[in-house]
Amino acid sequence: MSTNTNETIKKLDEQIAQLQARKKSLENKEKQKSKKERTKLLLKYGELTEKYLECETPEELEKFLIKILENIPVEKIKSFYK
């Protein structure tokens, strides 16, 4: 191979490496954004649970929800907010 071809290949390899690094960076940013959105949603659920159900511990909330779900089908509960 000629020197010119080797240089072109080397430049292309460098561009590939840069694009892969950029891709990984964008994927990480998207993952971080998703994590932040999920955390925000979970905090909101916690706030609403605390406000309306007045459960003080996760165990207390779990027992409360189990009792509700034993007596009311999930489909019926979901129909309240559709």
Q: What is the pLDDT of residues 6-26, one digit of tens each?
A: 999 999 999 999 999 999 999
pTM, 2 dp: 0.62
* Whole-number Å distance between alpha carbons of 40 and 32: 12
pLDDT digits (tens, 9 = 90+) for 44-79: 988 888 888 888 888 988 998 888 888 887 787 778
Structural domains counted in the chain:
1
* Whole-number Å distance between alpha carbons of 44 and 40: 6
Domain limits at 72?
A: 3-80
